[in-house]
A and B are shown apart, each in its own frame.
Chain A
Amino acid sequence: NAGVMQNPRHLVRRRGQEARLRCSPVKGHSHVYWYRQLPEEGLKFMVYLQKENIIDESGMPKERFSAEFPKEGPSILRIQQVVRGDSAAYFCASSLQGFESLHFGNGTRLTVT
């Protein structure tokens, strides 16, 4: 009865490196969402994907950030040339249908040094 699985749990990158965050949704869920949480703040929506499609990326920074949810395999959030301001917790959530209850993973804590 696996929930949303995110890995790695913690990720340390130096400025300029690339960060790849992975998310496997609940089995059978085809809707995936990525959120970012800065310390002491709520979650900010980044992107909404279904299999092989980006539905809404209005919360995603225009540069350096990209996301995919391929037909096979986990969803990937990719951050190129990371900067210190990218340090945050990144949460993935999935749902069976777009408006149903969201199930969150435990997050990936990214630290950029």
Chain B
Amino acid sequence: GIQVEQSPPDLILQEGANSTLRCNFSDSVNNLQWFHQNPWGQLINLFYIPSGTKQNGRLSATTVATERYSLLYISSSQTTDSGVYFCAVGSSGGGADGLTFGKGTHLIIQP
């Protein structure tokens, strides 16, 4: 099946800093989503972005499907941004409609 690799695995930043999280995938995709799991375990959908660029407030994401990667940008980080960020992809090659998740980037924003 499709492989999803996220980097870095861990990231510690001061409040106000900017960050870039990366997601590489091993096959063509027709579905890519970014999620934030907060410290209470809740999963929030940030972006549905199989290609192109989207922005939502301080967050933006870019997917370059031809080069098999996606980037999530967080600007002016706040402590509430802490948590785990997951990239999840659906393969164009068929198979399960369920998304394949990466192992996540664990982000800690310090005040």
A residues adjacent to B (C-beta < 8 A): 31, 33, 35, 41-48, 55-56, 58-59, 89, 91, 93, 98-104, 106-107, 109
Contact = CB atoms under 8 A, between A and B. Distances in A.
B77 to A, nearest CB: 22
Contact of A48 (B31, B88, B97, B103): B97
B35 A58 contact: no
B26 to A, nearest CB: 15
Interface of B: 30-31, 33, 35, 41-45, 48, 86, 88, 90, 95-104
Interface SS of chain B: strand
Given A43-B86, A104-B35, A59 B48 contact: no
A101 B101 contact: no
B101 A58 contact: no
A77 to B, nearest CB: 14
Nearest to A100: B48
A103 B46 CA distance: 10
Nearest to B35: A104
Q: Which 9 A-B pairs have the closest CB atoms?
A: A45-B98, A104-B43, A42-B101, A101-B48, A43-B101, A56-B96, A42-B103, A98-B97, A101-B45
Given A91-B43, A106-B42, A107-B41, A44 B101 contact: yes
